[in-house]
Amino acid sequence: MKSIKALSFIAAMALTAAVTGCGSSKESSVSETAPETAVAESATAAQEEDVPKIEGYDLLWNDEFSGSELDQTKWNYEPHEPGWTNEELQEYTTSTDNVFVRDGNLVIKAIKTENNGRAHYTSGKVTGKNKTDFTYGKVVARAKVPEGQGLWPAIWMMPKDEGYYGQWPKCGEIDIMEVLGNDVSTAYGTLHYGEPHGEQQGTWGLTGQTYADSFHEFSVEWEPGEIRWYIDGNLYHTVNDWFTAVQGEDDKPYPAPFDQPFFVQMNLAVGGVWPGDPDETTDFDKAEFEIDYVRVYQKPEYDTNVTKPEKHYREALEDGNFIFNGDFSEAEDLTDDVNWKFLLFNGGEGSAEIRDNMIVISSEAEGTEDYSVQLVQPELPMIKGKKYRATFDAYADEERDIVVCVSAPTAGWIRYLQDTKLTVTPEKQTFTYDFEMKDKDDPNGRLEFNLGHRGSTATVYISNVRVEEIS
């Protein structure tokens, strides 16, 4: 059995390369310029804090934000101009107006001002790069998010040497927590990797409360062959089948790229391609992302002798259909991950039920996105070079549009069957779409019916759904 001894706090921050991680050498070495004095002081402070112990782990480092200002032995400010990434609007600054400590919490505040007659947004981003880097461990953070259209708080991790396996997404990214300010009842945990871009995302929703109402604990357990996400102690997402590669080349040895030193970072973005821009409802007086603590624990050693799990591809039913319960002859729990699942996002409101060999989707609010009201079936085997046919019957109480596609939720949300708008009427119609799979083999294609943001909430009836391979 091959194992790696857990890196001490000092060594973790001074390593130029992990055992199988980034850098020019695969041998561990200690930098001559490592800030050992600051690290030792931080380690002592960590021991003095009243931090809970976790069985099987040692405390590697922590910040309880109990001082009067940001501890710059652990964190860096990372300023950036507006539009630096994701079409975000904010300027990240080093101002204590945007990043400050208050009442035992780190506060990252977004501020709206005017510049030449136009809205100008400032905010903060802090990172642990070159100060609290580590390889493998358990990250625990307790935080409260702001509510408001266009606000996008995040706690996430990036590699110390982003260029070792190649620029994003080849380098890897671990998103511990993201919440959109317009839907603060849902939190996301995501892994990014590969080329082509691979992405696996889990969500944990709250009922009767939101992540903006009170503090919640977000955690990731990062091990050589598996990464697990928790919220308030609830395991909601597990990934163990990532990869990374340069386009057209073989995959790097697993578990690359998640076998190198990473660091924690936190920010509050404003706008961007995912949350959309702020509007007149966004209250910037309350645009504060509060973090109570960040704690990183580590096991004494980790087994690095791991292999990537084999992919399992769903087999078609006897009639060749890859869709299970496509005739809606069986009742189902439409909230679980077995066969059909009904989802609501971004202002979508509605319900779905199976009756009379069809699924009936009723909408009360269409939401702001096509996927705001959505019916899906995942785990469709998509094999490069194969041709497929999707067919179904549909009608509606009154004429309206819907969108159908076959997507890749674990491969960067590319489309195997492109988003296709179709018009359903009160008369039942049969719809047929042929497509060729031209991308990397994927055991997790997903058939989607998207009913949101189409200018109508008319009830839709879908039946006789098939996805089959054609010669």
**69-79 tens-digit pLDDT:** 999 999 999 99
Residues of the chain within CATH 2.60.120.260 domain(s) are 341-470
Across the range 238-242, mean pLDDT stands at 95
Question: Tokens 């501020």 sit at which residue?
Answer: 111
Burial of 155 (0-12, 13-18, 19+ CB in 10 A): buried
Per-residue confidence (pLDDT) for residue 49, from 0 to 100: 57
Per-residue confidence (pLDDT) for residue 9, from 0 to 100: 40
Residues of the chain within CATH 2.60.120.200 domain(s) are 3-303
Per-residue confidence (pLDDT) for residue 440, from 0 to 100: 86
**202-216 tens-digit pLDDT:** 999 999 999 999 999
Q: CA dist 120 to 67, 94, 95, 246, 343, Å?
A: 30, 16, 15, 38, 35
Reported confidence tier of residue 3, pLDDT bands at 50, 70, 90: very low
Is 365 within 8 Å of 453 (Cβ atoms)?
no
Reported confidence tier of residue 385, pLDDT bands at 50, 70, 90: very high
Q: Which residue has the higher pLDDT, 38 or 342?
A: 342
Name the CATH code of domain 3-303 (choices 2.60.40.10, 3.30.1330.180, 2.30.110.10, 2.60.120.200): 2.60.120.200
**397-455 tens-digit pLDDT:** 999 999 999 999 988 899 999 999 999 999 999 999 999 999 889 999 999 999 999 99
Q: Of the given ranges (39-43, 147-151, 322-326, 417-421), which has the lowest mean pLDDT?
A: 39-43
Distance of CA 31 to the CA centre of its chain: 33
Instruction: Map the chain to HEC letters.
Output: CCEEECCCHHHHHHECCCCCCCCCCCCCCECCCCCHHHHHHHHHHHHHCCCCCCCCCEEEEEECCCCCCCCCCCCEECCECCCCCCCCCEEECCCCCCEEEECCEEEEECEEEEECCEEEEEECEEECCCCCCECCEEEEEEEECCCCCCEEEEEEEEECCCCCCCCCCCCCEEEEEECCCCCCCEEEEEEEECCCCEEEEEEEECCCCCCCCCCEEEEEEEECCEEEEEECCEEEEEECCCCCCCCCCCCCCCCCCCCCCEEEEEEEEECCCCCCCCCCCCCHHHCEEEEEEEEEEECCEEECCCCCCCCCCCCCCCCCCCCCCCCCCCCCCCCCCCCCEEEECCCEEEEEEEECCEEEEEEEEECCCHHHEEEEEEEEEECCCCEEEEEEEEEECCCEEEEEEEECCCCCCCEEEEEEEEEECCCCEEEEEEEECCCCCEEEEEEEEECCCCCCCCCEEEEEEEEEEEC
Residues belonging to the chain: 471
**87-117 tens-digit pLDDT:** 999 999 999 999 999 999 999 999 999 888 8
Angle at CA of residue 342, ends 348 and 437, nearest 5°: 105
- Please list, in sequence order, all residues whose beta carbon lies within 8 angstroms of the beta carbon of residue 385, skipping any fewer than 6 positions away: 436, 437, 438
Across the range 219-232, mean pLDDT stands at 98
Q: Of the given ranges (48-57, 357-366, 394-403), which has the lowest mean pLDDT?
A: 48-57
Is 200 within 8 Å of 173 (Cβ atoms)?
no
Average pLDDT, the chain: 90
d(CA 204, CA 424) in angstroms, rounded, equals 33
Q: Of the given ranges (49-53, 63-67, 389-393, 466-470), which has the lowest mean pLDDT?
A: 49-53
**159-189 tens-digit pLDDT:** 999 999 999 999 999 999 999 999 999 999 9
Read off the pTM.
Answer: 0.80
Distance of CA 340 to the CA centre of its chain: 22
pLDDT at residue 18 is higher than 80: no
Q: CA dist 282 to 87, 96, 147, 195, Å?
A: 18, 22, 8, 36
Per-residue confidence (pLDDT) for residue 48, from 0 to 100: 47
| Second-level CATH architecture of 341-470 | Sandwich (2.60)
pLDDT at residue 83 is higher than 90: no
Ordered strands of the 400-407 beta sheet: 341-344, 373-382, 442-450, 400-407, 415-424
Reported confidence tier of residue 250, pLDDT bands at 50, 70, 90: confident
Active site residues: 173, 178
Reported confidence tier of residue 321, pLDDT bands at 50, 70, 90: very high
Tell me the one-letter amino acid at 225. G
pLDDT at residue 37 is higher than 90: no
